[in-house]
């Protein structure tokens, strides 16, 4: 066998040392150039994923909050509308009552006035009638008596006569 | 017929210090493998972003995640810092064996390479045993269950790195030996069967085409990955159980 080759099974301390060093060196290379960068990237990714989840949770919580707020507001609005309708109908009722009362009052007034007027007209007519009757009575009496009666003198008499009619 | 030589690594040159350090194909090829893995790391992790994207990044993530998972399952959560070491064993072993595909001398076919790894792993096993049980507890572990077992315990302890070494070495070397034998046999067979062909045609070993490729798929590809995985698994299990033992 040529001296250029090692035996198939041979041990050499330096070769063993070199092999150990090679393995250690490769360990360091893999640690520094493969594991560290990949683990750093994975941690970064994990961080981003966590952040996304956190943001999603936040958004959902905010949405829930908004929803609660809106439904609350909606309920308030419905109540308010009901209130408006109620107060409007109350006002309308009140107004119609007022209008009715007013109309009743005015009608009564008119009736009263009319009655008064009638009364007055009646009284007036009565007075006129009285005077006329008195006049006529005097004339009749003059013609009957044949002399002129002093109206003033007999006025009282006549009046009393008329009143007795 | 050519004589068949099955040898170790070729000695390229000798550094004349400490009584001569021989630099062989094993060393050079190991460095090539390490450099290759280094460049692969750089390529895979280049332009990596947390938003994902490139296929290279997917591969890088896959490697890291698989090895991390392996370490977590076999050694436990507290051993996660060992993931790069396990990955180094896997990568160095597999790629060293796979250099055979490029016609290079696989560094894993050199006993020294595997012996180095096994010694390192054995040191770690011992370190963790002492760390877990204390030095006295570690020594006491050899006398259990009864004192008479001490020699056997020592043997079995030493057997761990030796068996790890020879399992891996034996598998790779057997591949090399069988490949060489088959190759030589095919050459002879080719000469025997087709030697009558005129001129140069008779000297071309046609039968060497194809058949070694099939063998190569088993010995170089499958066996390489298998042995790398086995060695890494044993490393994890031994160190993991060393740290857990009472």
Q: Reply yes or no on whether the pLDDT at A150 is more than 80.
A: no
Q: Is residue B74 part of a domain?
A: yes
Can you tell me the mean pLDDT for B196-214? Answer: 68
Q: What span, in angstroms and rounded, lies between the C-alpha atoms of B22 and B11? A: 6
Q: Reply yes or no on whether the pLDDT at B95 is more than 80.
A: yes
Residue with tokens 């990568």: B91
The string of pLDDT tens digits covering residues B174-185 is 888 888 888 788
Q: Reply yes or no on whether the pLDDT at A1 is more than 50.
A: no
What separation in angstroms does the CA of A36 have from each of B50, B80, B167? 14, 12, 32
Q: Is residue B142 part of a domain?
A: yes
Work out the number of other CB atoms within 10 angstroms of the CB of residue A38: 22
Q: Select the more confidently predicted residue: B86 or A150.
A: B86
Cβ contact B54:B200 at 8 Å: no
Residues 6+ apart with CB under 8 A from B115: A11, A16, A19, B161, B165, B169
Provide the 8-state DSSP code for B197: S
Chain A's closest residue to B34, CA to CA, is: A26
Say what the pLDDT of residue A24 is: 92
Which residues of chain A does B13 touch, with a Cβ-Cβ cutoff of 8 Å?
none
Q: What span, in angstroms and rounded, lies between the C-alpha atoms of B86 and B66? A: 11
Q: Select the more confidently predicted residue: B7 or B95.
A: B95
The percent of residues above 90 in pLDDT, for chain B, comes to: 20
For CA atoms B134, B138, B141, B143, the dihedral sign is: negative
The string of pLDDT tens digits covering residues B142-162 is 887 788 888 888 888 899 899
Cβ contact A38:B64 at 8 Å: yes
Whole-model pTM? 0.69
Phi, psi (degrees; rounded to nearest 5) at A147:
-135, 160
Which residues of chain B does A22 touch, with a Cβ-Cβ cutoff of 8 Å?
30-31, 34, 92, 113, 116
Q: In the beta sheet, which residues pair with residue B24?
A: B11
Shortest CB distance from B34 goes to which of A3, A25, A35?
A: A25
Cβ contact B80:B68 at 8 Å: yes
What separation in angstroms does the CA of B136 have from each of B132, B139, B141, B151, B208? 11, 5, 8, 17, 60
Say what the pLDDT of residue A61 is: 95
Which residues of chain A does B32 touch, with a Cβ-Cβ cutoff of 8 Å?
none
Cβ contact B202:B190 at 8 Å: no
The string of pLDDT tens digits covering residues A138-147 is 788 777 776 6
Q: Is residue B6 part of a domain?
A: no
Q: Reply yes or no on whether the pLDDT at B10 is more than 50.
A: yes
Are B8 and A10 within 8 A, CB to CB?
Answer: yes
Count how many residues are written for chain A.
165
Q: What span, in angstroms and rounded, lies between the C-alpha atoms of B114 and B9? A: 14
Which residues of chain A does B60 touch, with a Cβ-Cβ cutoff of 8 Å?
34, 37-38
Query: Could you give the dihedral angle defined by the CA atoms of residues A33, A35, A36 and A42, in that order, rounded to the nearest 10 degrees?
Result: 130
The string of pLDDT tens digits covering residues B66-84 is 999 999 888 888 888 889 9
Q: Is residue B2 part of a domain?
A: no
SS3 at position A148: coil
Shortest CB distance from B34 goes to which of A20, A29, A42?
A: A29
Q: Where are the extended beta strands (E) located within chain B?
A: 11-15, 21-24
Q: What span, in angstroms and rounded, lies between the C-alpha atoms of B231 and B170? A: 13
Most confident option among A148-152, A160-164, B13-17: A160-164
Phi, psi (degrees; rounded to nearest 5) at B24:
-110, 180
Q: Is residue B5 part of a domain?
A: no
How far does CA B196 lie from the centroid of its chain?
A: 44
Q: What span, in angstroms and rounded, lies between the C-alpha atoms of B119 and B165? A: 9
Cβ contact B142:B130 at 8 Å: no
What average pLDDT is seen over chain B?
83
Are A29 and B37 within 8 A, CB to CB?
Answer: yes
Residues 6+ apart with CB under 8 A from B18: A14
Cα three-residue angle A92-A94-A100, rounded to 5 degrees: 100
Domain limits for position B196: 11-244
Q: Reply yes or no on whether the pLDDT at A46 is more than 70.
A: yes
Say what the pLDDT of residue B1 is: 39
Say what the pLDDT of residue B144 is: 77
Say what the pLDDT of residue B176 is: 81
Confidence grade of residue A14 (pLDDT, cut at 50, 70, 90): confident
Say what the pLDDT of residue B34 is: 93
Q: Reply yes or no on whether the pLDDT at A2 is more than 70.
A: no
ipTM reported for the complex, 2 dp: 0.81
Q: What span, in angstroms and rounded, lies between the C-alpha atoms of B89 and B145? A: 34
Can you tell me the mean pLDDT for B99-121? Answer: 86
Q: Is residue B28 part of a domain?
A: yes
Can you tell me the mean pLDDT for A10-39? Answer: 87
For CA atoms B122, B128, B132, B135, the dihedral sign is: positive
Can you tell me the mean pLDDT for A98-117? Answer: 94
Say what the pLDDT of residue B202 is: 62
Q: In the beta sheet, which residues pair with residue B22?
A: B14
B146 to chain A nearest CA, in Å?
A: 35
Are B88 and A23 within 8 A, CB to CB?
Answer: yes
Q: What span, in angstroms and rounded, lies between the C-alpha atoms of B110 and B24? A: 10
Confidence grade of residue A63 (pLDDT, cut at 50, 70, 90): very high
Q: Select the more confidently predicted residue: A78 or A143.
A: A78
Say what the pLDDT of residue B110 is: 85
Tokens representing B217? 């798929």
Q: Select the more confidently predicted residue: A55 or B184.
A: A55
Say what the pLDDT of residue B121 is: 93
Say what the pLDDT of residue B208 is: 67
Number of independent structural domains in chain B: 1
Cβ contact B86:B71 at 8 Å: yes
Q: Select the more confidently predicted residue: B59 or B198.
A: B59
Q: What span, in angstroms and rounded, lies between the C-alpha atoms of A31 and A43? A: 16
Q: Reply yes or no on whether the pLDDT at B8 is more than 60.
A: yes
Count how many residues are written for chain B.
246
DSSP string, A32-85: IIIIHHHHHHHHHHHHHHHHHHHHHHHHHHHHHHHHHHHHHHHHHHHHHHHHHH
B55-74 and B25-45 are packed helices; what angle lies between their axes, rounded to 10 degrees?
Answer: 110
Q: Is residue B165 part of a domain?
A: yes
């Amino acid at each position: 066998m040529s001296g250029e080759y090692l035996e198939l099974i041979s041990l050499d301390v330096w070769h063993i040392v070199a092999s150990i060093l090679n393995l250690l060196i490769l360990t360091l290379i893999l640690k520094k150039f493969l594991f560290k960068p990949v683990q750093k990237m994975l941690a970064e990714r994990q961080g981003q994923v966590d952040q996304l989840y956190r943001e999603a949770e936040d958004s959902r919580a905010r949405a829930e909050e908004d929803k609660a707020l809106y439904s609350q507001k909606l309920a308030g609005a419905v109540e308010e509308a009901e209130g408006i309708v109620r107060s409007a109908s109350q006002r309308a009722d009140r107004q119609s009552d007022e209008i009715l009362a007013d109309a009743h009052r005015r009608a009564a007034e008119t009736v009263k006035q009319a009655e008064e007027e009638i009364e007055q007209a009646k009284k007036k007519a009565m007075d006129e009638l009285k005077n006329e009757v008195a006049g006529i009575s005097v004339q009749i009496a003059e013609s009957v008596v044949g002399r002129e009666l002093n109206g003033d003198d007999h006025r009282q008499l006549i009046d009393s006569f008329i009143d007795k009619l | 017929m050519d004589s068949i030589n099955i040898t170790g690594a070729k000695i390229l040159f000798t550094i004349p210090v400490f009584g001569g350090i021989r630099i062989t194909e094993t060393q050079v090829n190991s460095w090539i493998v390490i450099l290759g893995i280094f460049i692969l790391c750089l390529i895979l992790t280049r332009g990596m972003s947390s938003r994902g994207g490139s296929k290279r990044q997917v591969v890088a993530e896959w490697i890291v995640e698989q090895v991390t998972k392996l370490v977590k399952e076999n050694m436990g959560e507290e051993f996660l810092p060992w993931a790069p070491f396990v990955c180094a064993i896997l990568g160095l072993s597999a790629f060293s064996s796979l250099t055979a595909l490029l016609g290079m001398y696989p560094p894993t076919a050199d006993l020294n390479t595997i012996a180095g790894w096994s010694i390192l792993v054995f040191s770690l096993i011992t370190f963790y045993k002492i760390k877990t049980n204390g030095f006295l507890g570690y020594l006491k572990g050899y006398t259990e269950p009864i004192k008479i077992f001490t020699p056997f315990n020592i043997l079995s302890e030493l057997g761990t790195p030796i068996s790890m070494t020879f399992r891996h070495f034996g598998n790779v070397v057997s591949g090399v030996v069988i490949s060489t034998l088959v190759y030589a046999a095919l050459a002879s067979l080719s000469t025997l069967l087709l030697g009558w062909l005129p001129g140069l045609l008779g000297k071309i070993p046609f039968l060497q085409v194809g058949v070694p490729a099939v063998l190569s798929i088993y010995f170089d590809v499958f066996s390489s990955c298998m042995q790398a995985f086995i060695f890494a698994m044993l490393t994890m299990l031994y160190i993991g159980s060393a740290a857990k033992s009472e």
